Amino acid sequence: MGAIVGKSSADAVKFLREGFPVALPTETVYGLAAPLSNIQAIESIYRLKERPANNPLIVHVLDFEQLDHVAYTSPLVKRLVNAFWPGPLTLVLPKKNTVPPQVTAQQASVAVRAPQAPLFREVLRLLGEPLVAPSANKFQQVSPTCAAHVLEGMGDVLQYILDGGSCKFGLESTILSLLDSDRPEILRYGPIGPKELESVLGSPVYLPRKQIWQDAEAKLSPGLFKKHYSPKTPLFLVNSLDSFELSERFFNKRCAYIHYRGENQGAHYALTTHDDIYEAANNLYALLQQLDAEHYDVLFAELAPSVGIGLAINDRLQRAGKFLSE
């Protein structure tokens, strides 16, 4: 029972036209998509994900022309689009009336990105309109980076999962707000780092404000709740596992260790074998899923280097767990 896992973009479009949300591969994580014009299908995304209605969705477009249809743009937006699209950069802009309020949780802004994954783009071309899509996981679960993860987490409530293999980045897109054009602000770290953005913006970019995570009523971007990307097993963070000594309270627990770099050995796992930060990002969610399935009592993870996509790795780790001293 459950969803069909297939490789046909034509089948994906058939289900979308019939009003069923479909799981589609992007270069970041798998998304659960519905056509922008189908409000019932958009509402069913919230139901299927068990996602609160105050958490807005990202609109996925093919190109600048489709962006222009849903949001107010500017020369600065055009520069960013030329530099980073198609790719893992989501822009928050003032919305046009073509976007139904259900998509943006009644906000006056809309988040938009143009995914790079060829299958997703093919579906957009065949459908001829933008697709609204959050990540294809239940609320507060780890985002899926391959079709098997979607099947495991949501297979019982979906009709079709388009299988595009493993996602290239394995972490959600960078979200940049341009609502205040004098103050471009990263709302969520992702594959495109602050330095890359600054080189195109030609001005400083503001970094995510930590208090957003802590404010459960945060209206700005409710998906940025601190507890958002969680494995089921408790996760503790340490700055480095090299000098880590297990305290007594964990002696009778089955512990696993997530190293940034190293070899996989027994209960020790590494995000990358040869200090490749993209490989580390790519392995993070899959490893958290794997460790959940292995039923450890406690996980310990060390932080990645705080540059580029490493900022996104550390951001997701900090949302998934807490520092031992906290």
| Candidates 168-176, 235-243, 260-268, 297-305; binding stretch for ligand TXA (CB under 6 A) | 168-176
Nearer to ligand TXA, 238 or 282 (CB): 282
Across 115-147, b (16+ Cβ under 10 Å) vs e yields: bbbebbbbbbeebeebbbbbbbbeeebbbbbbb
Across 23-52, b (16+ Cβ under 10 Å) vs e yields: bbbbbbbbbbbbbbebeebbebbbebbebe
55 touches ligand TXA by CB under 6 A:
yes
66 touches ligand TXA by CB under 6 A:
no
User: How far is the C-alpha of 31 from the C-alpha of 22, rounded, in Å?
Assistant: 8
Asked whether 170 and 17 are in contact (CB, 8 A), the reply is no
| Candidates 64-72, 94-102, 118-126, 132-140; binding stretch for Mg ion (CB under 5 A) | 132-140
**CA-wise closest residue to 187 among 117, 135, 114, 111:** 111
Q: Pick one of 224, 271, 288, 317: the residue that binds ligand TXA (CB under 6 A).
A: 224
Nearer to ligand TXA, 224 or 287 (CB): 224
Asked whether 134 and 28 are in contact (CB, 8 A), the reply is no
Strands 31-35 and 131-133: antiparallel
Least distance in Å: CB of 234 to Mg ion? Answer: 21
Nearer to ligand TXA, 192 or 304 (CB): 192
Q: Pick one of 187, 237, 281, 309: the residue that binds ligand TXA (CB under 6 A).
A: 187
Nearer to ligand TXA, 31 or 310 (CB): 31
The Cβ of residue 239 has, within 10 Å, a number of other Cβ atoms equal to 11
Asked whether 160 and 151 are in contact (CB, 8 A), the reply is no
- Number of residues counted as binding Mg ion (CB under 5 A): 1
Name the binder of 29 from Mg ion, ligand TXA, none, CB < 5-8 A by kind: ligand TXA
Least distance in Å: CB of 156 to ligand TXA? Answer: 20
End-to-end CA distance of the chain: 43
Q: Pick one of 135, 174, 283, 289: the residue that binds Mg ion (CB under 5 A).
A: 135
Least distance in Å: CB of 247 to Mg ion? Answer: 33
Least distance in Å: CB of 229 to ligand TXA? Answer: 9
User: How far is the C-alpha of 100 from the C-alpha of 95, rounded, in Å?
Assistant: 10
Peptide bond connecting 86 to the previous residue in cis, omega within 30 degrees of 0: yes
Output the CA torsion sign for 148, 149, 154, 158: negative
Name the binder of 192 from Mg ion, ligand TXA, none, CB < 5-8 A by kind: none
Name the binder of 28 from Mg ion, ligand TXA, none, CB < 5-8 A by kind: ligand TXA
Q: Which residues bind ligand TXA (CB under 6 A)?
A: 26, 28-29, 31, 55-58, 88, 90, 92, 104, 107, 109-111, 133-135, 172-173, 175, 187-188, 221-224
